[in-house]
Amino acid sequence: NEPRLNRVSGWAQVGGDSIAHSSGKGYTLAGVVNLPIGHHLAFRVAAKYDDQPGWINVYGLLKRTNPGVSGVPLLANPSDPVDSSGIYGHRTDWNYEKTFTGRAALLWQPTESFKALLAILHSGLRGDGGPQVNPSFPGGVSPLDPNVTLPPGGPYQEFSQV
């Protein structure tokens, strides 16, 4: 919505939830504020943040020096980079998602027949993994690293060697 010249208004909303098979809790924060600035200018800002926990556990992740796939994999034997296995781990609630959306707008209306609106929108998403699992994975020696044995698949389990 556009800013309104004749009214101070706003609202806020807070919510929480739980997701089956997750060890975390989710929450949402949202709000809007509209502020007139004199008779011809108004400002409005709206934002929403949503934090949803994951419910899938992942096994076989390479531990790295930095988060994400851009980090250098850690080696079990750093003095032997050619033959050393990587260090693997697991994460619970892997498929989490955190989203933020915000919009700010400034309305200038010097006359009834002319108005100018300047607005900016920002949206961001952070998260890992998706909702897919591989329950039929039989487990066993990793095809990528024979030094690693992965557990068998099951509900709410994923395997990745990223």
Residue 126 scores a pLDDT above 70:
yes
Q: Which of 19, 26, 96, 88 is nearest to 57 (CA)?
A: 96
Residue 93, by phi and psi: left (phi above 0), alpha (psi -120 to 50) or beta?
A: left
Any idea where the domains of the chain sit in the sequence?
22-159
More confident residue, 22 or 32: 32
* pLDDT, tens only, 26-36: 999 999 999 99
pLDDT number for residue 63:
82
- The pLDDT of 68-91, averaged and rounded, is 81
Specify the pTM: 0.72
